[in-house]
Amino acid sequence: MQFRALLLDAYRQLSAAKLFWVTFGISILVVISYGSIGFNEQGISVLFGMWEIESVELREGSPWARGLYIGIFSSFLVNIWLAWIATVLALISTCSIFPEFVHSGSIELTISKPIGRLKLFFSKYLVSLLFVVLQVAVFCIGIFICVGLRIGEWNPMIFSAIPIVATFFSYLFCICVLVGILTRSGITALLITGVFWMMLWSIQTSEAVLHRFVIEQKVDIERFNEGIENSESELIKIQEVSAEDFRIPKLEKRIETFKEDLIESQEVLDTLTQWHTPTSWVLAISPKNSQTIGLLDRWLSDPDGFDIGAIMNGDMRAFEGEEVEEFDRTTRGARDRETMRRMRKEYESNSLWYVVGTSLLFEGFILGIASIYFCRKDF
């Protein structure tokens, strides 16, 4: 009964805020825009047929049409709209919930009721996530209908965006709650949460960049080792035939260059690892926003191998549906593709426990501090 009262109160508080309805309106516009994209026998149509693009690949019933449509949702609408713009709006809307809750004159009315402070705190916290849950739920229903009508796929996994985005939001909201309770100021809570978010972004970006460099060096080392191995076996073969062959000095020079490059790459790798290891430790104990949102990409991945993320990274071979398992060492582009492929593979191999579990542990730690403060505070 008490939880229901708090839930109802949270809904009333949100629905009284204009920003809630503004965000809601924008969400619906985004869904309508998404729904305006369709496929026919000629190709793709945008804005309900106002603009048509002829395409052999992207036409009704093709696997690429499915990949593109789902990819727009999981890579753009979730990553840009839900994970950035809607989250910022949600933080603005909800940053004052706890400061107002603990405001003098208001908190006395609530904590003087027969409800434990810990229960009250966590109930209030959970119901405060209602903003995001409601917004994302409505958004997902719209997307579910659009996907069903446009490509004939009634995919319930779309609704996994609700817990994912709510969890993602809660990593930030816990900071907002802690600061809000300590300072009783919504603006301060919002600003500190913004700074924290930027900090997380910096950590994640630093780790990703360092990780990329590390993999690049590893790929180079493999390339150099293989180059040495191939050149040496070629050299042996040639020497068996003739010790005076004109290709021998050239091959020896090549082996020498490979060895020098190998030593250089190994040194760079050692230096990079020194930086990457502590950064990855910091990331391990921090909320992993991007990877949490990335879960949706994983869960909604195209069975036919269409990967809009890879295409956006310039990997058109993914668009062509080719398997890129074998490492083509002949071009620099191949090296970059291989790096990206390995990075992606490594991130995707991160378990749900690592991505969400460790992030929730961090959230639990922050909420623990906030709840202890709330329970012991004399109002």
Partner 1 sequence: MHALRGVSLEVMDGEIFGLLGPNGAGKSTLVKILMTVIHATKVSGAMLGKPIGDRLTLEDVGYLPEHHRFPYYLTGNQVLHHYGALAKVTRNDRNARASKLLNRLGLSGWENKKVGTYSKGMLQRLGIAQSLMNDPKLLILDEPTDGVDPVGRREIRNLLAELREEGRAVLLNSHLLSELEMVCDRVAIMVKGEVTMQGTIDSLTKDSKRYEITILGSIPDWATACCDEIQNNTMIIHGDDPVAIQPTLDRLRADNTTIISVKPVRENLEDLFMRAVDNKDSPGAIQ
Question: Contact positions toward partner 1, by CB under 8 A?
Answer: 1-2, 4-6, 8-9, 12-13, 15-16, 100, 103-116, 376, 378-379
Smallest separation, CB 95 to partner 1 (Å) = 16
Smallest separation, CB 92 to partner 1 (Å) = 17
The SS3 assignment for 54 reads strand
Smallest separation, CB 177 to partner 1 (Å) = 18
Residues in the chain: 379
Nearest residue (CB) to partner 1, 6 versus 172: 6
Nearest residue (CB) to partner 1, 186 versus 309: 186
Contact 337, 315 (CB under 8 A): yes
Smallest separation, CB 152 to partner 1 (Å) = 43
Smallest separation, CB 181 to partner 1 (Å) = 15
Beta-strand pair 51-54/38-39:
unpaired
Nearest residue (CB) to partner 1, 2 versus 277: 2
Nearest residue (CB) to partner 1, 7 versus 138: 7
DSSP H/E element including 365: helix 358-376
Nearest residue (CB) to partner 1, 185 versus 290: 185
Nearest residue (CB) to partner 1, 108 versus 320: 108
Per the listing, tokens 């990335």 go with 294
Nearest residue (CB) to partner 1, 19 versus 343: 19
Smallest separation, CB 25 to partner 1 (Å) = 19
Question: CB neighbours (10 Å) of residue 217?
Answer: 21
List beta partners, residue 173: none
Smallest separation, CB 376 to partner 1 (Å) = 7
CA distances 145 to 68, 140, 149, 300, 357, Å, are 16, 8, 6, 16, 31
CA distances 161 to 27, 33, 210, Å, are 14, 19, 29
Nearest residue (CB) to partner 1, 111 versus 203: 111
Nearest residue (CB) to partner 1, 5 versus 53: 5
> What's the CA gap between 183 and 189, in Å, rounded?
8
Structure token digits, residue 47: 């804005």
Structure token digits, residue 259: 């060895």
Beta-strand pair 51-54/43-46:
antiparallel
Smallest separation, CB 183 to partner 1 (Å) = 18
List the one residue out of 339, 284, 349, 270 whose CA is nearest residue 310. 339
CA distances 86 to 32, 83, 266, 368, Å, are 16, 7, 44, 27
Contacts of 323 (CB under 8 A, 6+ apart): 305
Amino acid identity, position 335: R
Smallest separation, CB 117 to partner 1 (Å) = 8
